[in-house]
Amino acid sequence: MKINKTNLLVKLVLLGTLTIISSCKKEISNHNILLQKWQGPYGGVPAFDKMDVKDIQAAVEKGMELNLSEIEAIANSSEEPTFENTIEEMERSGSDLGRVFAYYGIMSSNVSTPEFREIQSNLAPKLSVFSSTISQNKVLFTKIKTVYNASLITPLEADKQRVTALTYNSFAMKGAELDSEKKLRYAAIDKELSTLYNTFSDNVLHDEENYVTFLTENQLAGLSEGFVKSAAAIAKEKGKEGFYAITNTRSSMSPFLTYSKNRELRKTVWTNYYSRGDNGGEYDNNNIIAEILKLRRERVELLGYKNYAEWRLQDRMAKTPKNALALMEAVWPASIARVHEEVEDMQSVADANRDGITIEPWDYRYYAEQVRVDKYDLNSDEVKQYLQLDKLRDAMFYVAGRLFNYNFSPVAEGSVPVFQEDVKVWEVTDKDSGTHIGLWYLDPYARQGKRSGAWATTYRSHTTFDGKKTVLASNNSNFVKPAAGEALLVSWDDATTFFHEFGHALHFFSSNVKYPTLNGGVRDYTEFQSQLLERWLSTDEVINQFLVHYKTGIRIPQELVAKIKKAATFNQGFGTTEYLASALMDIKLHLADPAGIDVNSFEKQTLAKLKMPSELPMRHRTPHFGHVFSGEGYATAYYGYMWADVLTADAAEAFQEAPGGFYDKDVANRLVKYLFEPRNSMDPKEAFRLFRGRDAKIEALMRDRGFPIN
């Protein structure tokens, strides 16, 4: 393919770099494993066992070069622009870089090292320049616009029309129609932001890795045997044999705060966790956030928008910040009212115990658990004895079989490369035909260099474009690895999260789209499918088959099940309020004037205006709010979990109303056909209407959470 190097190099010089396609740069060896086509079974799989961090920078740079050459060939074609020679060719481009990014993502999220973080820091601005070079290619955009305008006059087939519109809107939102001077500034801002996002993430990871609380044997009161054994094993790994380590991650913090009887230690662990990114000095994120907010505002002002939220939400279901805020503000009063009730109950328990304390944030989980026992005779630690991770995994497979007709079979060990010995792989097939659908990778345990939280991702998405491609998807968690020979027991909340992330994987596997772009999603809709799957954890079929005692194998008693269901809306004040506080903060930060903003002060003042109960924190305090400040995926869109939960609650009622309940075949078929298979090939609102016969109603959410309906 002919490359217009002169035009491209001028752009890169103006943007301050020649590193991507300079003719002086030596050729990257074809032996770089990260660039090679995937070999082996299942349509080829990533060579995770052979990846080496020393290969990543060269592979990314070469991948960018190859992708840019493809883009330039499309832009410089002498043919009149058509869907086939413009949009389709763009869909076809970038396969080399896509393969490299499967490895890059693993190195970034699952097995990060100081060496990789340095490389990632070097690559961040280069990747930003690469992206800007494509999105600001005037000749390319002119061709895209020609195809788009023609499609408005003579509509294309539905999937072609959708991918054309998404492509055009993506370029327009990124400044494709700006003049040359504004384009340069837009690209420069993107480059600055890429570095800030990377630094933000590194700072949070630093605080997670370095703020560890080591306990002695006389400080273990209240903690379960399994938790203590895990804490001892982690301490030994960290060179502190004989001690017990509470790591600075949610999976370690939450159970400790729930069960530890040592209030001062609860305060220490709580403070460490909620102070991530807010400890002053080199790894503090407050100034970084202020700069991110300032640059985001400047960038969208170049496009004529008042603020970042207005620009970002235009292609989401909410459409405007006003609509997103309206949903949250409708729920907020009932949510904080419930918190006050919960705190009153907890304070009564503390007073009855003559503990002589006033409930503080580090007390909330501990006394909530005591209230749970008192009100519902339900002990979370007792429930955990029936929540084994392996059994929960089997339960998810069962649900996938009933709803999607999928079968999960473990692949022979060693037949599919993995990046860490704890990662296991299953083949996904159709139960009836045996047709191969994809591979599912599970990386369950926390470890040094792995980012916190739980997430799902794809290494290869389904398309039927240029031949059918099967799915390679993964779920990633941060459970504390049990001591050798011990069962991994998890909380009900952690089990719910496990099902949630599996919902994302099922969304990947069920994709039935032609073009790669249509595998994307609308941010305040893509959490819906995963939130909906959480509901199957509490179905009788799952409870009666897979919740068995980890020692005896005896099924969970029906009286305990009844208590779990009776307590279903318990502590909803805490769960809803901690989440909503973060979601409201996200949008309000992006609506505020960023000039001279003091992030810590803004957070405190905003929470005060909201009348945030002092007894609990935001789920993600601003200095470690990675959803919003380690990139742009959830920026001004964290509200999307609640937007999706309205859809979830309403869709769940469709199953509740059906003759077959949550396993009703007709409703399940509509679920797969309209809510999972289309991905982003149709408007989400229309997809939900096809499933439900109407729009979703907020009343379903209020009923679901046990809140009053005005």
Tracing tokens 């599919």 back to the chain, one arrives at: 416
Rg of the chain in Å (alpha carbons): 26
Give the chain's count of helices (H) and strands (E): 28, 7
Instruction: Specify if 558 maps to a domain.
Output: no
To the nearest 10°, report the CA torsion of 399, 401, 405, 406: 110
One domain, residues 40 and 103: yes
Residues 231 and 168 in one domain: no
**Residue 584 located in a structural domain:** no
Cα–Cα distance for residue pair 644/632, rounded to 1 Å: 19
- Please state, in angstroms and rounded to a whole number, the distance separating the CA atoms of residues 553 and 705: 33
Instruction: For the beta carbon of residue 388, count every other beta carbon within 10 angstroms.
Output: 21
> 10 Å Cβ neighbour count for 531?
21
pLDDT in tens, 318-376: 999 999 999 999 999 999 999 999 999 999 999 999 999 999 999 999 999 999 999 99
Calpha distance 451→209 (Å, rounded): 10
116 and 235 belong to one structural domain: no
| Residue 409 bridge partners (DSSP) | 427
Taking Cα atoms as reference points, which of 269, 225, 268, 237 lies closest to residue 251?
269
**pLDDT beyond 90 at 1:** no
> How far is Cα 154 from Cα 166, in angstroms, rounded to an integer?
17
Q: 119 and 256 share a domain?
A: no
Q: Is the pLDDT of residue 29 over 50?
A: no
3-state helix, strand, coil in the chain (%, to 5): 60, 5, 35
pLDDT band at 20 (very low <50, low <70, confident <90, very high): very low
Q: Domain boundary at 177, 194, 228, which? A: 177
- Is there a domain that residue 290 lies in? no
572-591 and 321-352 helices cross at what angle (nearest 10)?
Answer: 140
Q: What CATH number is attached to the domain comprising 399?
A: 1.10.1370.40
Provide the pLDDT confidence category of residue 31 given band limits of 50, 70 and 90: confident
CA distances from residue 127 to 60, 132, 695 in whole angstroms, order as listed: 9, 9, 40
Res. 521: pLDDT tops 60: yes
Asked which of 553, 580, 608 is the last residue of a domain, the reply is 553
Relative to beta strand 406-410, strand 244-246 is unpaired
pLDDT digits (tens, 9 = 90+) for 148-191: 999 999 999 999 999 999 999 999 999 999 999 999 999 999 99
**Average of per-residue pLDDT across 310-320:** 95
d(C-alpha 518, C-alpha 506), whole Å: 16
- Specify if 500 maps to a domain: yes
pLDDT tens digits, 609-652: 999 999 999 999 999 999 999 999 899 999 999 999 999 999 99
| Alpha helices (H) along 557-619 | 558-566, 572-591, 599-610
Tokens matching residue 669: 């078929």
Residue 85: predicted pLDDT: 98
Q: Is residue 12 predicted with pLDDT exceeding 80? A: no
Torsion of CA 205, 209, 211, 213, to 10 degrees: 140
The DSSP call for residue 673 is I
Is residue 28 over pLDDT 70? no
CA 363 to CA 263: how far, in whole Å?
Answer: 7
Give the residue from 553, 580, 596 where a domain finishes.
Answer: 553
Range of the structural domain that residue 238 is part of: 211-265
Joined together, the tokens standing for residue 484 give: 């050798």
* Average confidence (pLDDT) over 582-606: 98
Sheet of 436-445: strand order equals 406-410, 424-430, 436-445, 471-479, 455-460
Q: State the pLDDT confidence band at 307, using cuts at 50, 70 and 90.
A: very high
Same domain, 168 and 249: no
pLDDT value of position 93: 96
Residue 145 reports pLDDT greater than 70: yes
**Given pLDDT bands bounded at 50, 70 and 90, which one contains residue 23?**
very low
Q: Answer for the pair 63, 96: CB distance below 8 angstroms, yes or no.
A: yes
CA–CA gap between residue 170 and residue 198 (Å, rounded): 23
The answer to whether residues 414 and 527 belong to one domain is yes
In a domain, 497, yes or no: yes
Residue 285 in tokens: 């994120």
Mean pLDDT of the chain: 93
Residue 457 and residue 523 in one domain? yes
* Three-class SS of 534-549: HHHHHCHHHHHHHCEC
Q: Are residues 117 and 237 in the same domain?
A: no
Residue with the larger pLDDT of the pair 479 and 6: 479
Q: What is the mean pLDDT of residues 141-150?
A: 98
Q: State the pLDDT at residue 26.
A: 38
Residue positions counted in the chain: 710
Q: What is the pLDDT of residue 11?
A: 37
Look at residues 144, 448, 189, 149 and name the one whose alpha carbon lies nearest to residue 293: 189
Which tens digit of pLDDT belongs to each residue from 276-285? 999 999 999 9
Q: What is the per-residue pLDDT for 465?
A: 87
Of 389, 441, 409, 358, nearest in space to 615 by CA: 358
Same-domain pairing of 170 and 230: no
The pLDDT > 70 percentage for the chain reads 96
- Round to whole Å and give the CA distance between 607 and 617: 10
Looking at the domain assignment, is residue 218 inside a domain?
yes
35 in the same domain as 90: yes
Burial class (CB in 10 A: 0-12, 13-18, 19+), 629: buried
Cβ burial of 708 (10 Å; 0-12, 13-18, 19+) is exposed
Band of pLDDT at residue 30, cut at 50, 70 and 90? low
Q: What pLDDT is stored for residue 452 in this prediction?
A: 85
Q: State residue 633's pLDDT score.
A: 86
pLDDT at 9: 34
Within a domain: 33 = yes
Q: How far is CA 662 from the centre of its chain?
A: 26
Tell whether 143 and 43 lie within a shared domain: yes
In the chain, the number of structural domains is 3
Q: Could you tell me if 173 and 252 lie in one domain?
A: no
In a domain, residue 278? The reply is no
Kindly report the pTM of this predicted structure: 0.88
